[in-house]
Amino acid sequence: MSYSLGYQRGFDRALVLQNGTFVGTFDALQKLRAGDIEGGTRTIESLCFSAANTVYSTKPASQFVAKTFAQDFRNYRQTYRTNRTDWTATERNLEAGLANWKGER
């Protein structure tokens, strides 16, 4: 019984996350299809950076993903997100996490 309740609770939480992912990605798709490349890109970046905060936190959920994409992700940010005054709070937190992340955990 406990396992079943725990499983259901976890599944319910995952669905809530998927709802947010759907809304965000659909919004981005609509913007891109309407020609708003900047708006669509920003929406996708927001979703990506939010997820990256988890991946590059002090205890990354997935070492494989963190290690595999660390350099490419840093390069992306150094190429396209250079103006720190445009950064959101999420990006500031992410930058601190990336600076501290060594890939050795």
Minimal CA–CA distance to 55: which of 35, 33, 72, 38?
Answer: 72
Give the integer Cα–Cα distance in Å for 60 and 44.
21
Query: The tokens of 52 are what?
Result: 């990256």
pLDDT digits (tens, 9 = 90+) for 42-51: 999 999 998 8
Burial profile 3-34: b = 16 or more Cβ within 10 angstroms, e = fewer = eeeeeeeeeeeeeeeeeeeeebeebbeebbee
What's the whole-model pTM score? 0.76
* pLDDT tens over the chain, length 105 residues: 565 656 566 656 666 777 888 888 999 999 999 999 999 999 999 999 988 988 887 666 678 888 899 999 999 999 999 999 999 999 999 998 888 877 654
Q: Where are the alpha helices (DSSP H) in 56-84?
A: 63-80
